[in-house]
């Protein structure tokens, strides 16, 4: 049985990951309306990945005989006036999720829950990649976003992104 504090944080993380999926779906929705289908594709794949993350936390808890309580998922309430607002909200959100993962790690560390720490290692690395991706998007948009032709090319590049299942698999 997992420590109460650790299991509560893991349970909250399921909700946070599902909220992330919902937020990225809303970002995809924004770009769909803009006619930028490549950007919409990129954020739709982000949403899929977030659902995968939620399921990994869910599976980890089930595998450790830890009761899961599902709560309401908040409404994505960010207002996007322009493309860059979406990209910046993406980075801000990933930084928030990184801090959340680190909080769980810290709680697991305090009670010498090595199994949970090892499980979280994958997420610590993943969050580093998510933040890099979000920063790259901002850099590209700063460089190319104001020129319609370049924006078109960037949109084509993002349209090519394909979904792949997470490398972490819990049976
Ligand atoms: Mg995630």
pLDDT band at 1 (very low <50, low <70, confident <90, very high): confident
* pLDDT higher than 90, residue 104: yes
Q: State what percent of residues in the chain have pLDDT above 70.
A: 100
Angle between helices 37-63 and 83-110 (to 10 degrees): 10
Which residues lie near ion ligand 1 (Cβ < 5 Å)? 17, 50, 53
The predicted pLDDT at position 119 comes to: 98
112: CA distance to ligand 1 center in Å?
24
Is CATH 1.20.140.10 the right assignment for the domain spanning 4-159? no
* pLDDT higher than 90, residue 171: no
Q: What is the pTM of this model?
A: 0.96
Q: State what percent of residues in the chain have pLDDT above 90.
A: 98
50: CA distance to ligand 1 center in Å?
5
pLDDT band at 169 (very low <50, low <70, confident <90, very high): very high
Q: What is the CA radius of gyration of the chain?
A: 17
44: CA distance to ligand 1 center in Å?
13
How do the domains of the chain map onto residue ranges?
A: 4-159
User: For residue 74, which of 25, 126, 19 has the smallest C-alpha distance?
Assistant: 19
């Amino acid at each position: 049985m997992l420590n109460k504090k650790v299991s509560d944080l893991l349970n909250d993380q399921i909700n946070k990951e599902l909220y992330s999926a919902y937020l990225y779906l809303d970002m995809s929705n924004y770009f769909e309306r803009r006619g930028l289908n490549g950007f919409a594709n990129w954020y739709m794949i982000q949403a899929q990945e977030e659902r995968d993350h939620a399921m990994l936390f869910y599976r980890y808890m089930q595998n450790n005989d830890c009761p899961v309580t599902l709560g309401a998922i908040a409404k994505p309430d960010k207002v996007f006036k322009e493309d860059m607002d979406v990209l910046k909200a993406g980075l801000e959100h990933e930084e928030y999720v990184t801090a959340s993962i680190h909080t769980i790690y810290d709680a697991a560390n305090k009670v010498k829950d090595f199994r949970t720490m090892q499980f979280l290692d994958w997420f610590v690395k993943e969050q580093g990649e998510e933040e890099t991706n979000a920063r790259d998007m901002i850099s590209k948009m700063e460089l190319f976003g104001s020129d319609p032709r370049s924006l078109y090319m960037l949109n084509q590049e993002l349209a090519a992104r394909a979904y792949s299942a997470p490398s972490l698999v819990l049976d």
